[in-house]
Structure 1
């Protein structure tokens, strides 16, 4: 069995790193699409601005200790008949109450 040359090893390491980075970017793009869909849903359902919708999603994510992309995916899944998980539903209600309380001030 041949031992790879130092240059080959460096090239192999770079390929592995680039593949990992590519996978991360693909995941980020997929996540972004779902998050943007959820943000649009929030803007219609709340109703609120784009910034407020982002804030609501972040708020729910932080209070549930669930990744933002997972909160967004759960919300988008409701369009296909799935129910929001209990924790997300509870925090969603709380976040909306906080938003409306701020608007009344």
Structure 2
């Protein structure tokens, strides 16, 4: 089965909802999927995190990957979410391990 990355680069509410919906849909069908928040999208978790992000862990999706050029305050992230931090320099290399990347911006 193909590994799919959902790359969200915008903090736009519609893009965030669509990216999360696709990730949850794929995970519910047991597809290997990881939601990756990059750039401005990181603000979705820091400012007003949706409880729906926690559903990814319940569906055995990969931890939410967070990539930003600025320093991320790990303590500001919701404790209930399984996350990993990827530097902006490592993002391209991280994406190379997936068969498909769906980009939301």
TM-score computed with the length of structure 1 as normaliser: 0.25
Higher helix share: 1
Larger RCO: 1 or 2 (CA < 8 Å, sep 6+): 2
Identify, as 1 or 2, the structure richer in strand: 2
